[in-house]
Amino acid sequence: MNRFAELLDRLSYEPARNNKLRLIADYLRKTEDPERGWALAALTGALTFKHAKGGMIRALIAERTDPALFALSYDYVGDLSETVALMWPADPNHRANKTPSLTDVVETLSTLGKAQLPAQIARWLDALDETGRWALLKLVTGGLRIGVSARLAKTAAASLSGKEPDELEIIWPGLAPPYLDLFAWLEGRGDKPNNLDAAPFRPAMLAHALEETDLAALNPEDFTAEWKWDGIRIQAVSGRDENGEPVMRLYSRTGEDISKSFPDLLASLRLPAAIDGELLILREGRVQSFNVLQQRLNRKAVTPKLLNEFPAHLRAYDLLAEGGEDLRELSFAERRARLDKFITQLDDPRIDLSPQVTFETWDQLIAARANPAEGGAGLDAEAVEGVMLKRRDSVYVPGRPKGPWWKWKRDPMIIDAVLMYAQRGHGKRSSYYSDYTFGVWNGDNELVPVGKAYFGFTDEELKEIDCFVRRNTVNKFGPVREVTHDAATGLVMEVAFEGLQRSTRHKSGVAMRFPRISRLRWDKPPRDADRLETLEKMLVKIEVGRAA
Amino acid sequence: MSPEDILVPTPSGVCCKAGGFHIDPTRPVAKALITHGHSDHARAGHGAVLATQETLDIMRLRYGENFATSTQAVAYGETIKLDGVNVSLHPAGHVLGSAQIRVERGGLRIVVSGDYKDVPDPTCAPFELVPCDVFITEATFGLPVFRHHNADGEIAKLLHSVELFPERAHLVGAYSLGKAQRIIALLRKAGYDKTIYLHGAMQKITAYYQERGIDLGHVELVSGAKKSELAGTITICPPSAMTDLWSRRFPDPVAAFASGWMRVRARARQRGVALPLVISDHADWDGLTKTISATGCSEIWVTHGQEDALVHWAHLQGLKARPLDIVGYGDEEEGEPAEAGA
Give the tens place of pLDDT for each residue, A231-282.
999 999 999 988 889 999 999 988 888 898 899 999 999 999 999 999 999 9
| Cβ within 8 Å of residue A409, ≥6 positions away | A209, A228, A385, A386, A498
B156 to chain A: closest CA residue: A6
Contact A130 B147 (CB under 8 A): yes
CB contact under 8 A, A431 and B245: yes
Q: Amino acid letter at A207?
A: A
C-alpha to C-alpha distance for A27 and B160, rounded to whole angstroms: 11
Question: Rounded to the nearest 5°, which phi and psi values hold at B54?
Answer: -65, -45
Contact B196, B219 (CB under 8 A): yes
Work out the angle at residue A488's Cα, subtended by the Cα atoms of residues A482 and A493, and round it to the nearest 5 degrees.
Answer: 60
pLDDT(A97) > 60: yes
Q: Which stretch of A511-520, B189-198, B328-337 has the lowest confidence by average pLDDT?
A: B328-337
Say if residue A48's pLDDT is above 80. no
- Domain boundary among the residues B242, B261, B277 is at B277
**Cβ pair B312:A65 closer than 8 A:** no
What one-letter code names the amino acid at B45? G
List C-alpha distances in Å: A227 to A231, A278, A347, A375, A545.
Answer: 12, 11, 21, 10, 18
Confidence of residue B342 (pLDDT cuts 50, 70, 90): very low
Domain shared by B263 and B289, yes or no: no
Q: Which string of b and e fits A40-63 if b means at least 16 CB within 10 Å? A: bbbbbbbbebeebeeeebeebbee
**Average pLDDT estimate for A518-533:** 93
User: Range with the lowest mean pLDDT among A266-270, A288-292, A455-459, B316-320?
Assistant: A288-292
Of how many residues is chain A composed? Answer: 548
Of B278, B165, B49, residue with least CA distance to A85: B278
Q: What is the per-residue pLDDT for B331?
A: 55
Sequence-ordered list of residues with C-beta below 8 angstroms from that of A202, at least 6 positions apart, any chain: A170, A235, A237, A274, A320, A321, A328, A396, A398
**Last residue within a domain, chosen from B277, B299, B315:** B277
Q: Which residues of A432-465 are buried (b: 16+ CB within 10 A; e: fewer)?
A: bbbbbbbbbbbeeeebbbbbebbebbeeeebeeb
* Cα A496 to Cα B194: distance, rounded to the nearest angstrom: 49
DSSP state of A179: -
DSSP assignments along A239-284, one per residue: EE-TTS-EEEEEEETT--B-GGG-HHHHTT--SSEEEEEEEEEEET
Query: B120 with B32, same domain?
Result: yes
Tell me, yes or no, whether B89 and B121 share the same domain: yes
Q: Which of chain A's residues have a Cβ under 8 Å away from the Cβ of B248?
A: 431
Give the domain range for residue B55.
Answer: 3-145+281-341
Are B269 and A13 inside 8 Å of each other by CB? yes
Taking CA–CA distances from B150, the nearest residue in chain A reads A129
- A281 to each of A286, A299, A511, B45, B136, how far by Cα in Å? 8, 15, 21, 73, 67
Across residues A484-493, what is the average pLDDT? 94
First and final C-alpha spacing in chain A: 59
Give how far A378 is from chain B: nearest CA, Å: 48
> Is there a single domain that holds both residue B194 and residue B110?
no
Give burial (CB, 10 Å; 0-12/13-18/19+) of B119.
Answer: middle
Together in a domain, B53 and B159: no
Taking an 8 Å cut-off on Cβ atoms, the answer to whether B263 and A130 are in contact is: yes
Could you give the 3-state DSSP secondary structure of residue A63? helix
Q: Which of B118, B124, B108 is nearest to B138 (CA)?
A: B118
Whether the pLDDT of residue A90 is over 80: the answer is no
Binned at pLDDT 50, 70 and 90, residue A94 comes out as: low
pLDDT score at A427: 67
CB contact under 8 A, A77 and B264: yes
Q: What is the mean pLDDT of chain B?
A: 93
From chain A, pick out residues whose CB is under 8 angstroms from the CB of B146: 86
B268 touches chain A (CB under 8 A): yes
CA–CA dist B180, A42 (Å, integer): 38
Cα-based torsion angle of the residue sequence A297, A301, A302, A308 in order, rounded to the nearest 10 degrees: -90
CA A138: distance to chain centroid? Answer: 21
Taking the Cβ of residue B263 and every Cβ of chain A, the question of whether any pair is shorter than 8 Å is answered with: yes
Please give the share of chain A, as a percent, with pLDDT higher than 70. 97
When mean pLDDT is compared across A25-29, A293-297, B255-259, the lowest value belongs to A293-297
d(CA B210, CA A155): 48
Cβ burial, residue A362 (10 Å; 0-12/13-18/19+): middle
Does residue B320 register a pLDDT over 90?
A: yes
Q: Is A130 exposed, middle or buried (0-12, 13-18, 19+ CB in 10 A)?
A: buried
Dihedral class, residue A546 (left if φ above 0, else alpha if ψ from -120 to 50, else beta):
alpha
CA gap B103, B85 in Å, rounded: 7
Which range has the worst mean pLDDT, A103-107, A291-295, B116-120?
A: A291-295
Pair (B294, B267) in one structural domain? no
pLDDT in tens, B90-114: 999 999 999 999 999 999 999 999 9
Per-residue confidence (pLDDT) for residue A378, from 0 to 100: 85
Judge residue B44's burial from the number of C-beta atoms within 10 Å of its C-beta, 0-12 exposed, 13-18 middle, 19 or more buried: middle
Is residue A147 less than 8 Å (CB to CB) from chain B? no
Measured CA to CA, the distance from residue A482 to residue A319 in angstroms comes to 52
Ranking A301-305, A464-468, B161-165 by mean pLDDT, the lowest is A301-305
Which candidate, A102, A135, A100, places its Cα nearest to that of A12? A135
Does the pLDDT of residue A317 top 90, yes or no? yes
Cis amide prior to A178 (ω within 30 degrees): yes
Q: How far apart are alpha carbons B317 and A284 in whole angstroms?
A: 71
pLDDT at A367: 92
Q: Compare CB distances from A431 to B146, B247, B269 and report the shortest one's residue.
A: B247
Establish if B316 touches chain A: CB-CB under 8 angstroms.
Answer: yes
CB B335 within 8 A of CB B243: no
Residue A545 has pLDDT above 70, yes or no: no
Q: Is A232 helix (H, G, I), strand (E, B) or coil?
A: strand
Same domain, B160 and B291: no
Position A532 pLDDT exceeds 70: yes
pLDDT, averaged across chain A: 90
Place A47 in a pLDDT band, splitting at 50, 70 and 90.
confident
Q: What percent of chain A has pLDDT over 90?
A: 64
Q: Do the beta carbons of residue B56 and residue B96 sit within 8 Å?
A: no
Return the C-alpha torsion angle A413, A415, A421, A424, nearest 10: 40
Please tell me which of the candidates B144, B147, B269 has its beta carbon nearest to residue A69.
B144
Longest dimension (CA), chain A: 83
Q: What is the CATH number of the domain that holds B118?
A: 3.60.15.10
Helix ranges (H only) for B196-264 are 203-211
**SS3 readout for A300-334:** CCCCHHHHHHCCEEEEEEEEEEECCEECCCCCHHH
Report which DSSP code applies to A377. I
Q: Which residues of A131-146 are buried (b: 16+ CB within 10 A; e: fewer)?
A: bbbbbbbbbbbeebeb
Please tell me whether residue B32 adopts helix, strand or coil conformation: strand
Query: Is B136 in the same domain as B7?
Result: yes
Range with lowest mean pLDDT among A196-205, B215-224, B276-285:
A196-205
Whether residue B260 contacts residue B284, with contact meaning beta carbons closer than 8 Å, is answered with: yes
Which residues does B150 contact at the CB level (< 8 Å), separation at least 6?
none
User: What does the DSSP 8-state code read for residue A421?
Assistant: E
3-class DSSP assignment, residue B275? strand
Q: Which residues of A touch B268 (CB under 8 A)?
A: 13
- Among B277, B301, B318, identify where a domain stops: B277
Same domain, B133 and B167: no
The DSSP line for B61-90 is: HHH-TTSEEEEEE--BT-EEEETTEEEEEE
Residue B295 and residue B206 share a domain: no
Cα Dmax for chain B = 67
Q: pLDDT: is A378 or A274 the higher one?
A: A274
Residue of B nearest to A15 (CA): B274
| ipTM for the whole complex | 0.92
CATH code where residue B199 lies: 3.40.50.12650
Give the per-residue pLDDT at A544.
Answer: 66
> Above 60 in pLDDT, residue A353?
yes
pLDDT band at B333 (very low <50, low <70, confident <90, very high): very low
Distance (Å, whole) CA A201 – CA B278: 44
Q: What number of helices (H) and strands (E) belong to chain A?
A: 20, 21
Whether B335 shows a pLDDT value over 50: the answer reads no
How far, in Å, CA of A314 to CA of A232, rounded? Answer: 10
Across the range B284-313, mean pLDDT stands at 95
Contacts of B241 in chain A (CB under 8 A): none
What is the C-alpha separation between A512 and A500, in angstroms, rounded? 5
How are beta strands A384-391 and A223-229 bridged, if at all? Answer: antiparallel
Residue of B nearest to A480 (CA): B270
Give the DSSP H/E element, type plus range, for residue B309. Answer: helix B307-316
Is the domain of B13 the same as that of B105?
yes
Is A474 strand, coil or helix? strand
Question: How far is residue A380's CA from residue A385's CA, in Å, rounded to a whole number?
Answer: 11
| A78–chain B Cβ distance below 8 A for any pair | yes
pLDDT at A480: 87
Average pLDDT over residues A485-511: 88
pLDDT of B339 higher than 50: no
Question: Among A236-240, A446-450, B76-80, B147-151, which stretch is predicted with the lowest mean pLDDT?
Answer: B147-151
Residue A426's pLDDT is 72
Chain B: nearest CA to A67, how far in angstroms? Answer: 11
Give φ, ψ of A174 to 5 degrees: -90, 0
Inter-residue contact B96 to B178 (CB < 8 Å): yes
Residue B290: what are its φ and ψ, rounded to 5°?
-65, -45
Could you say which residues from 271 to 300 on chain B have a Cβ atom under 8 Å away from some Cβ of chain A? 271-276
Please give the tally of structural domains in chain B.
Answer: 2
Q: What is the mean pLDDT of residues A201-213?
A: 89
- Where do the domains of chain A lie, and which CATH numbers do they carry? 2-141 (1.10.3260.10), 208-409 (3.30.470.30), 413-546 (2.40.50.140)
One-letter amino acid identity for A107? Answer: E
> What pLDDT, in 10s, does the model give residues A420-475?
999 988 766 777 899 999 999 999 999 999 999 998 998 889 999 999 998 899 99
When pLDDT is cut at 50, 70 and 90, the band that residue A547 belongs to is: low
Asked if the Cβ–Cβ distance from A431 to B270 is below 8 Å, we say no
Distance from CA of B160 to the nearest CA of A (A): 10
pLDDT at B41 over 60: yes
- Within 8 A by CB and 6+ apart from B195, the residues are B218, B219, B220, B233
Q: Is the pLDDT of residue A196 over 80?
A: no
Of A23, A87, A424, the CB nearest to B145: A87
Q: Of A75-79, A136-140, B178-182, give the range with the top mean pLDDT.
A: B178-182
Asked if B308 has any chain A CB less than 8 Å from its own CB, the reply is: yes
Share of chain B above pLDDT 70, in %: 96
Query: Which residue in A117, A60, A120 sits closest to A84, CA to CA?
Result: A60
Give residue-wise pLDDT tens across range B189-247.
999 999 999 999 999 999 999 999 999 999 999 998 999 999 999 999 999 898 888 99
Do B294 and B325 share a domain, yes or no?
yes
Using the predicted structure, report yes or no on whether residue B330 has a pLDDT greater than 80: no
